[in-house]
Amino acid sequence: MALLEICKYPDPVLQKKAKPLKETDPSLEKLIEDMIETMYHAPGIGLAATQVGKPLRVIVFDLNPREEGRNPSCLINPEIIEAEGEQTLEEGCLSVPEYFSEVKRKAKVKVRGLNIQGKAVEICGEGVLATVLQHEIDHLDGILFIDRISALKRALYKKRVQKKLKNQSEAT
């Protein structure tokens, strides 16, 4: 397994819509293993293939990323088939470092996709799991959680990133 580089905002790959996969193969299994290792190392509880520069419809997640009790999951070609209710939770993102904001999302979701063996599966999630599934599927559609916050908060974050990038370029 290998650690993958996580793309950071404003990398344009984060705005690309990922392509569905037709079948699983050993290279996809390796990517999924590497994504899981990268997610744990970051540390995070979810990661989409687009975040590591691969515009493929693949997500990994684990709500218990500590050494003991790890139970990573992956979904290939995930799609939300049912959603209900509303909840607001604070979110962060490995591609949007050092920034957290409350985001309103559906409270319960049912997601259909394929597991690593290529078998159809459905996952029902509520609470944090519902948020993680929606957040990661958003990545596959080129949407970041900052696209779901107020324009003012988003503008302030983008200004902070631009200033940081400018300072970094001036230092080199």
Which residues are identified as catalytic?
136
114-146 exposure pattern, b = at least 16 Cβ within 10 A, e = fewer: bebeeeeeebebeeebbbbbbbbbbbbebbbbb
Encoding tokens for residue 5? 């580089």
- 3-class DSSP state of 79: strand
SS (H, E, C) 4-15: CCCCCCCCHHHH
Q: How far apart are CA 35 and CA 131, in angstroms?
A: 19
